[in-house]
Amino acid sequence: MDLAILNDYAIGFLLRWIHILAGITWIGLLYYFNFVQGEYFKEADGGAKGDAIQKLVPRALWWFRWGAMFTFLSGIGLLAFYKLMSIGILTGATLGTIMFLNVWLIIWPNQKIVIASANSVASGGEADPNAAGALAKAGLASRTNTLFSIPMLFFMAGSRHLFGAIQEPIGALGVAEIAVVFGIIVLLALNGIKGKMGPMASVSGVIHSGIALTAILYLAIEFL
């Protein structure tokens, strides 16, 4: 095999491996926060919850935010390396990019306020009055990321394993597809910044909403 071709295969494989490894770390912790930790915090007493916020949450958030960072950077690397973007990849990449921005611009900054407040209380100080609002903002963005993760994973995998419009190059996107698919994504992203949980408030609700969103986006791409 030609050495240049072999190098291309190696680079492509390395980028994909990093992308998958970092993505598992990121999305795995996203599901842990939303499906496990959040439900535990609803039932935990104040002492146990405060201890977890001081000792457990910061460690989990470290892996969470850097998993998001390396997933995003390796994804950019893959797009630049292959120089080919299908409608499915574009949709998945758009969802993933919004999720990445939510992690670094909303979830992590607000969680730092919550953690600092818990540390202050533990050392005999006062709770930060902004902590409750910060927790709500982080929670909404995290739920939105959970919602987006379901169609994001569908389109990333489907772009290689499904047939139809999802495989077509982005130049094939019609006005109707752009308006519906990316309009829905933008509206939900804005709701995740300053909106309401709605059906996403429960674990089953966000899962069902994610599946419904996947179906709506896929049908819009295939039939509009």
Give the residue with greater pLDDT, 28 vs 124. 28
Per-residue pLDDT of 40-99, as tens digits, reads: 999 999 889 989 999 999 999 999 999 999 999 999 999 998 887 889 999 999 999 999
The C-alpha atoms of residue 76 and residue 158 are separated, in whole angstroms, by 18
129-136: average pLDDT:
95
With H, G, I as helix, E, B as strand and everything else as coil, classify residue 61. Answer: helix
Position 6 scores a pLDDT of: 55
Burial 35-52, CB ≥16 within 10 A → b, else e: eebeeeeeeeeeeebbeb
pTM for the model stands at: 0.93
Position 10 scores a pLDDT of: 87
- Alpha-carbon distances of 81 from 2, 18, 87, 89, 187, rounded to whole Å: 18, 14, 17, 14, 31
The C-alpha atoms of residue 61 and residue 134 are separated, in whole angstroms, by 15
Residue 15's CB: how many other CB atoms inside 10 A? Answer: 20
Work out how many domains the chain is built from and give that number.
Answer: 1
* Domain containing residue 213: 3-223
